[in-house]
Structure 1
Amino acid sequence: MRRLSATFAIVGIFVPALAFAGDAEWRRYAILSTGTSVDMPVSIFTSDAGPPEGGTGRRFFTEDRRADLTVQSVANPGNDSPAAFLARMRPPAGIIYKRITSDFFVVSSIRNDRIWYNRCNRGNGTMNCVMINYPAAEKRRWDDVVTRISHTLRG
């Protein structure tokens, strides 16, 4: 039997293995201008894709571009509540998970066989957000990664 240490065989397609959760190398990423910061698995999101549209921060991809992470601060000059800000964003229909408090909101769903996850914390004149997109078929592998990213978002 041939041993596969760096790849997984899935329906005859070889997909590079990603280091997940406990095996990943994590670093703190910060947007200095807004004070936003988050723990980020740099051994998973290895490609810097530049600034996001509509905010200050960065986008990152996995090497194979199957998943992406955006960390950004979006202007909220009226200091809208998370509920009002989310309503103004007009998220797509079919949200599977939604949690809204006075300090943050989280929404998530599935679109085109990919899970999208968005958490935004209310800041002083900003909404400080992480957005993660990854294959729905890999949900269990991503659960701990998404949880850690979400729970470490500050700002």
Structure 2
Amino acid sequence: MRQEGRTEVDEPDVGAPIAGFDRTTVELSREEGMRLLAGVPFGRIVFTRNALPAVRPVRHLIDGELLIVRADVGSGFSQSVRNDRSVVIAYEADDIDVDRRLGWSVVVTGLAHPVTAPALVHRYSARLGSWIGADDQLIAVEPTLITAIALAEVTAA
């Protein structure tokens, strides 16, 4: 059936239950969230650009309690950090198996500031490599809030 301005499209049935299983979310600790982040190489940084939310993919690493990201200077994110020196950002990374509907998601919220110490720039650059090009900038994020969840299965009784 066709309605004015709309077309019918066959959509995949992503909400179909898997026989014998249900899904739930489980809150994880701050420490577990940081451990999970350390196991993946990239995520998405969320920041404000021209008074609107913006999202960019970036590479990251964990150094103690810091989240270190490598951002393209042209993305607007690193420019805003250079201008303000303490920008509140959100960072999200996940690992989700779409077919099994299992995995995890971690969101870090905190203050971001440029990494300027030459020894740290050298060390982080060596570990992260270049993301986009020579104009990448290293940015440290001090996590204030870490929200981590696991998408887990519950066996039907």
With CA pairs under 8 Å and 6+ residues apart, which has the higher RCO, 1 or 2? Answer: 2
TM-score (norm 2): 0.22
Structure number with bigger Rg: 2
TM-score (norm 1): 0.23
